[in-house]
Amino acid sequence: MNEQIKKDNSKGIWIAIIAVLMVVLAVVIGIAIFTNSPAQKYRRQIKLAERYLDELDYDKAIASYKAAIEIDPKNPEAYEGLADVYIEIDDVEAAIDILESGLKKTKDEGLEKKIARLEKENETDDPGIAEANGRDGKDDDTDSDPSGITVRDDILENDIEPNTLFEQIYDQSMSAYQGFLNNEETVYDPDEEKELYLSDDVELARVWSGYLTGRQVPDPSTDLIKVSYAYIDCGMDGIPELLISFDFDSNVKSPMYDEIIKYKNGRLEKCAQFKDEATDYSARSDRYGVVINESYWGSEDVNAVDADGNYVALYLSDPMISPSEDDNIGSYFEDQYDYFGTIYKAEIYYGSMSWKTFYSYDVNYDGDYDTAYIERSLNSAGVDWYNINEYNKLLDDVIEEFLPGHAGDEPEWNELGIY
């Protein structure tokens, strides 16, 4: 009897062990299938390509993007990434070829727009072609549009014929913006997760103003001074975006609440919202969607909206109030009162210098002691640092890399009056 019980128990243990092994095997097989699925393989190749590009290993980046295309030839992301690598190595023809190949397989509008832009840029770089078009190859001809935005001829002529996709998007965009300004069309607000008319948008801005000034309910009769709008050109592609500004007067502060709206995917969408809290920050977009959020102590948080309506972080430059608290240099500036100067720290989020940090300084007096103290401390910390002119040039280069030919012109504002 006891022997039979032992046999039964032993049999049960083996059955349990086999069951556990089968579960583990199923999990392992499931993980293997998942990690080796086409989607996962594609994503791994994209991440590898991006890493190689950050490391400036262009050959490996090209190979990884090509591998991604072989895995999923219908996805436009790899074609655009591969084209960007070719542009980095000054092989524009190869970039156009791969984009055209991708366009045939994906029918993606973004690839089509990029092809047109590259072909025209490549054409205007040829002095002979520029001269034949009646230009000197340096300045683009422009047409002034009644909307207030300048439409570049290099987008409209040659590459894109009349009544094609570009003009359709341009006309649809302007029509939708006008409808919104007339309180007839809605804009999708991703924060609110709903469609809003301009009148609804104004009320949201009023609520923000009320909370900012410490009142639970803003006073509509006195707070809102005016609502203004301007047409801007994010990404300088010739397609307009709508910039709305709400200006308030609230005794202690005079805040502004601005937002960029774009017509895409058949509707209006908010791309970005930025707020000027007067005594703390000053933020406003320029004519090309570059937003400098500047604090009263000199900090600059620079962001932008690109041609596709994506919000892009560019860099943060900060004059350090207390460098002794910085993780990289703090222990070398234990007494911040030993010198008369300002330490600057830049953190880059975009482009060839992305995720790099570097420093600079400016002295308040011409004393050699202050300069020597700061430079010795920075060198001891082992960080990258530049003189103030080089520092500012590197920051300008980040914006130039994001938007070549950018000039920070002010938008042409139009008033809608008081709502």
Mean of the pLDDT values across residues 200-212? Answer: 71
Evaluated on CA atoms 181, 184, 185, 186, the torsion sign reads: positive
Give residue-wise pLDDT tens across range 285-295.
889 999 888 77
Q: For position 221, what pLDDT does the model report? A: 47
Which string of b and e fits 306-341 if b means at least 16 CB within 10 Å? bbbbebbebbbbbbbeebeebeebeebbeeeeebeb
Closest CA to 361 of 349, 347, 373: 373
Q: In this predicted structure, which of 151-160, 208-217, 305-314 has the lowest mean pLDDT?
A: 151-160
Mean pLDDT of the chain: 76
Please report, to the nearest 10 degrees, the dihedral formed by the alpha carbons of residues 286, 288, 290, 294 taken in order.
-10
Distance, CA of 181 to CA of 179 (rounded, Å): 6
Give residue-wise pLDDT tens across range 59-68.
888 988 998 8
Which is more confidently placed, 265 or 334? 265
Give residue-wise pLDDT tens across range 122-140.
664 444 433 333 333 334 4
pTM: 0.57
Distance, CA of 111 to CA of 107 (rounded, Å): 8
169 band by pLDDT with thresholds 50, 70 and 90: confident
Mean of the pLDDT values across residues 24-47? Answer: 63
Evaluate if residue 242 carries a pLDDT over 90.
yes
Most confident of 176-185, 275-284, 330-339: 176-185
Structural domains present in the chain: 38-132 (1.25.40.10), 159-283+410-419 (no CATH), 289-402 (no CATH)
Evaluate if residue 364 carries a pLDDT over 60.
yes
Evaluate if residue 371 carries a pLDDT over 90.
no
365 band by pLDDT with thresholds 50, 70 and 90: low
Which is more confidently placed, 248 or 181? 181
Distance, CA of 1 to CA of 4 (rounded, Å): 5
Evaluate if residue 208 carries a pLDDT over 90.
no
Distance, CA of 183 to CA of 197 (rounded, Å): 6
HEC per residue, 224-271 = EEEEEEEEECHHHCCCCEEEEEEEECECCECCEEEEEEEEECCEEEEE
How many percent of the chain have pLDDT more than 70? Answer: 67
Residue 99: how many other CB atoms lie within 10 Å: 26
Which is more confidently placed, 16 or 106? 106
Q: For position 120, what pLDDT does the model report? A: 73
340 band by pLDDT with thresholds 50, 70 and 90: low
Q: For position 338, what pLDDT does the model report? A: 52
> Which DSSP symbol is given to 314?
E
Q: For position 144, what pLDDT does the model report? A: 40
